Structure 1
Amino acid sequence: MTPPGTPASPSESRAGGPSPAPASSGGTAADGAVPGGTASGGGVSGGTASRYARANTGPEAHRWQTFPDTPVVLALARTFTSAVRVLEALAVFRGDTRVRVLFAFDDTSAFNAGTETLLEGVEAGLIPWSDRLAVRPDLVVTATENADMAAFDCPVAVLPHGIGFQKYVPDHRTRQVRLSGVPRPEFHDADNIHLVLSHPAQREQLRAARIPLAEHAQVVGDPAHDRLVSGFRLRDHYRSRLGVRPDQRLVVTTSTWGPGGLLGSRPRLPGALLGALPHDDYRVAAVVHPNVWFAHSPWQVRHMLADALDAGLLLMPPEAGWGAALVSADCVIGDHGSVTLYGAALDHPMLLGALGAESVPGTAVSELVRTAPWLAKEGLRAQVEQAIDTHVPGQHREAADLAFAHKGRGGQRLTELLYRLLGVAPPEDAGHDGTQRALPQPEPDPSSGIPRAFEVHGWAEGAKEVVIERFPAAAREVPDPPQGAVRHLSVFESEKRHTLADSASVVCREPVRDPGSAGWLERALERHVGAFASAEPVPEGIAVLLRDGRRFLVRSEAGADPVLAAAVLYTAVRARLPLEASGEPRERGESFKVRTGSTRWECVIEPGPADPGVLGPQPDAQEIGALEP
């Protein structure tokens, strides 16, 4: 009898035979393997994993179990990416009281960070890696090809952690390259290992590479793709959760890991996009491969993207939300990674910003390269607008058709496969399992900020119309204004960068519960000695005080924020537009039509009583509109 906690093969646990010694994990560099690491020596041995060991391993485990006779599915995780994928796939067993699921974590990958925390976060039954055989699994499910599968005699389903075999990756054992997603050579002849594929072309790829596992591979389609397509019914809801207005366009950037990916080759692109695209017309989101997060740390990712985050970048966390963000997109800018291909399959306008040398010819990604335009470094705004405005529906259909078979049936086919390998009949309502549920809500990383400083461009189109564009100043790279336009820096008082606050021409007050509290406008100009104006919300609209003491009230039914309201006044003053109609009462004010991107609105600028004194000389009424800041 095997003592509790001792690894035992399925044959020993069922028939009393000896357990073979665990084989070396021997992972590859592509999966972030630590050279020389072993599966038996690696893995979680304490913490949460140990808490579940006694109740689920060893000869006395049945004494502690409420469901002792149910078949066991053992999910193997080695990286954060593979853990997320296997959690998604296990949704096929959701609600089935006949199946127990346990997890084991091999921590020998260089990308192991965050994985145990992820599994602890979902409160999974995590056991030590050394006890993975002692749980007597009836089926092993994993989404990493580098897991040690040598000692399992039960069926092993190897799920893709992306789409097919799109990359060549280095193999530290042979100093050559191999197809990413293919298990190690010592497992190629194992008849109990079943690769799960999304398209028959991937089987032919394996055959062309003379990999015997091709004959046991199972083509089921892609449940992740199907969930994305089904998610379109909630697109408006997802966009609202992301803070994207109906009149705005969402640009989603997506990067795989490595120096050839979008972020590795163009790390400043997210910030450059935020600086190039008008804030009132566009939002920008970023989906970054988990291997970037957990090779360099979440802190490092946020630290490197700090300017873009301050400029309003919606950074999607690595575990969830990327799918809903992708569904919400109006344009996708990506590389040779799987998320880019998902975006193409959703028929989004596409731009390619990077293409690593490791991409495999003849695959769906190589087909996407043929149909998607390349994003040049200059003229980002024009390229994004052209990609959206000239997109032809079905433009990337051939790439999608080469990646995904059995569209709409991936979840059902995966359910049928895993239950068949488990030796249990699927539920009668198979096809209505957890793979058919809505995508997780898009909740950006808490580091995603709201811009509080703007480079504002304004120009007049006639005597009664003003055009305003603003760009987040934290992006650092903002375009020059059009010819004839005036520019200024406008900041909210809460702006954290002192250099921006000290350079502002207009200082704005955040909306508060007691708008119009006495003296804020004056105090703001006293604190910001270089500012031309201060602006604050009041019940009637936006009150603006100029440095020379003149006051104005900007009214608009659109409820313009202080930055936009003050920008209209600033542009009118600089362009010498009339702020008081000749021969009409002063109290009536002057009406302006305003255009901010695709939105048109109207406002009335009413002169108010001036405050002579410390702020500057008070001009005569006839001088209104003549001041040059």
Structure 2
Amino acid sequence: MDTARWIRGPVGHGATGRLTRVGLKTVLVLVQTVTAANRLADVLPVIDGDHRVQPVYAVPHGADAWHGVESHVRSLGGLVLPWEQAIREKWDLVVSTCREGIEQVHGNLLMLPHGAGAGKSRLRSRMSTATEPTTGLDREVLVRSGRIIPTRIALHTDADLRLIAGRCPEARSRAFIAGDPCLDRMLASRPLRERYRAAMGASPGQDLVLLTSTWSPESAFGRHPDLPARLVDEFPAARVGLVLHPNVWAVHGASAIRGWLSRALTRGLVVVPPERGWQGAVLAADVVVGDHGSTTAYALAVGARVALAAAPVDNLRRGSVSDQVRRMATTLDHGSPLAPQLARAAAVPAFAGVLSSRIGEAHARLREAVYQPLGLPEPDWAATPGCVPVPAVLPW
């Protein structure tokens, strides 16, 4: 084991001689992807302001294949331990949104949903070894060697709770409905819409058309790479923005993406980077063109008008969030002009209830789930959602 890279942080041998704050409870935050980092940014504010708690970050082995994860966490100011060091320590709490690495760490594990809905929307797993349909709440994810790995499992909806009861009944007693902290933050941020619009470069009264794409060949950008240029061409008076899933950036690289978008960029396309801004961009938009990714679901949940550019019909789990998006949102005909179709795109009333059964309660519920294993009384100030960041726009 290579210990030369180990960090002289707040844990491990000799830590007491290094500390400024002593007697701290330690929280290990597992960050497998930039998407996970973005999700955790919605949750970790529940410990903000508490001098009794020390968060530390780690990128599990295997996850470092996703380009830019560790550098992104460091850019946020996170203290990142080498993985070999992180798995040698005993933690008061471990927090993760993904399954990679969870069986190797030592401590009470709080598992959080990775996106919109705790259950995966894809019918078939991307894992090459998978032989059966997956929901993300299955026994193969939650159990190792007969042991349930998570201590607590946060879910968004009553439907998620029914799903885990059917797919892994032995884990049902560890699951609880927290609601969706990302949705709560977005709903709390709606009064700041004009600020988000200004950050996207939209003038007062100017329409903002936002294209959002998840990753995979089935996504909007995977199937229709010409769509950014088409939108810019067909909406010359509008501001047109683009949000791509962080995995698109991690796999293909910014240089290639910039090259693919060059024609649209010269005509005014604005691109939101993967590490900051998609939530504010969605709130700023007058109409969102999306696919089966979580961003489209959140757009519907905050009341945006939405049109689908792509959605796999044969690879969505029936009843999942993405399946409901596909059934409820307008679908584009790419062989016809886009402007008249987007003019007919409509919001879906009450779609927020598809994403959360406890709207407005997520941060209070998650704080309770965090402080119980820490063995600390909760702080005496309220756990509130806070607002999402103002979008950044790449200087392209």
Find 1:238's aligned residue among 193, 196, 208: 196
How many angstroms does 1:430 deviate by? 2.8
Find 1:364's aligned residue among 294, 297, 321: 321
How many angstroms does 1:115 deviate by? 0.7
Does 1:73 find its partner at 2:27? yes
Given that 2:26 and 2:92 are in contact with CA atoms closer than 8 Å, whether structure 1 keeps it comes out as: yes
In 2, distance between residues paired with 1:167 and 1:180? 10
Higher relative contact order (CA 8 A, sep 6+): 2
SS at 1:155's partner residue?
Answer: strand
In 2, distance between residues paired with 1:221 and 1:420? 18
Given that 1:198 and 1:222 are in contact with CA atoms closer than 8 Å, whether structure 2 keeps it comes out as: yes
Alignment of 1:57-96 (within 5 A): 57-96=11-50
Find 1:170's aligned residue among 126, 137, 140: 126
Gaps of 5+ in 2: none
Amino acid at match of 2:359: K
Given that 1:156 and 1:193 are in contact with CA atoms closer than 8 Å, whether structure 2 keeps it comes out as: yes
In 2, distance between residues paired with 1:180 and 1:170? 12
In 1, distance between residues paired with 2:88 and 2:376? 21
Partner in structure 2 of residue 598 of structure 1? none
In 1, distance between residues paired with 2:382 and 2:87? 29
Find 2:51's aligned residue among 97, 103, 106: 97
Given that 1:92 and 1:415 are in contact with CA atoms closer than 8 Å, whether structure 2 keeps it comes out as: yes
Identity %: 29
**Coordinate RMSD, CA, aligned:** 2.2
In 1, distance between residues paired with 2:163 and 2:389? 33
In 1, distance between residues paired with 2:173 and 2:279? 32
In 2, distance between residues paired with 1:251 and 1:78? 31
Does 1:139 find its partner at 2:96? no
How many angstroms does 1:111 deviate by? 5.0
Alignment of 1:6-405 (within 5 A): 46=5, 50=6, 53-109=7-63, 111-152=65-106, 154-164=107-117, 165=119, 166-168=121-123, 169-180=125-136, 184=141, 186-187=143-144, 189-190=147-148, 192-210=150-168, 212-277=170-235, 279-280=236-237, 282-356=238-312, 357-377=314-334, 378-387=336-345, 391=346, 395-397=348-350, 399-405=351-357
Given that 1:231 and 1:439 are in contact with CA atoms closer than 8 Å, whether structure 2 keeps it comes out as: yes
How many angstroms does 1:232 deviate by? 1.1
In 2, distance between residues paired with 1:411 and 1:111? 31
Amino acid at match of 1:408: G
How many angstroms does 1:267 deviate by? 1.2
SS at 2:189's partner residue?
Answer: helix
Deviations 1:460-514 (A, max 9, x none): xxxxxxxxxxxxxxxxxxxxxxxxxxxxxxxxxxxxxxxxxxxxxxxxxxxxxxx
Alignment of 1:420-569 (within 5 A): 420-432=372-384, 436-447=385-396
Larger Rg belongs to: 1
Q: 1:181 to 1:204 in 2, by over 3 A?
A: closer
In 1, distance between residues paired with 2:361 and 2:277? 22
In 1, distance between residues paired with 2:308 and 2:91? 43
Amino acid at match of 1:446: P
Partner in structure 2 of residue 469 of structure 1? none
How many angstroms does 1:225 deviate by? 0.4
How many angstroms does 1:276 deviate by? 0.9
Size of the aligned set, in residue pairs, is 389
110-119 vs 65-74, greater mean Cα deviation? 110-119
Given that 1:160 and 1:181 are in contact with CA atoms closer than 8 Å, whether structure 2 keeps it comes out as: no
Amino acid at match of 1:261: S
In 1, distance between residues paired with 2:259 and 2:97? 30
Given that 1:257 and 1:264 are in contact with CA atoms closer than 8 Å, whether structure 2 keeps it comes out as: yes
How many angstroms does 1:185 deviate by? 5.4
How many angstroms does 1:338 deviate by? 0.7
Deviations 1:193-237 (A, max 9, x none): 322111110121222324533331121111110111111111111
In 1, distance between residues paired with 2:130 and 2:197? 47
How many angstroms does 1:176 deviate by? 4.0
Deviations 1:552-584 (A, max 9, x none): xxxxxxxxxxxxxxxxxxxxxxxxxxxxxxxxx
SS at 2:212's partner residue?
Answer: strand
Amino acid at match of 1:72: T
How many angstroms does 1:380 deviate by? 0.4
In 1, distance between residues paired with 2:326 and 2:320? 10
Gaps of 5+ in 1: 6-44, 448-629
TM-score, length of structure 2 as denominator length:
0.92
TM-score, length of structure 1 as denominator length:
0.59
Amino acid at match of 1:167: R
Q: 1:134 to 1:216 in 2, by over 3 A?
A: same
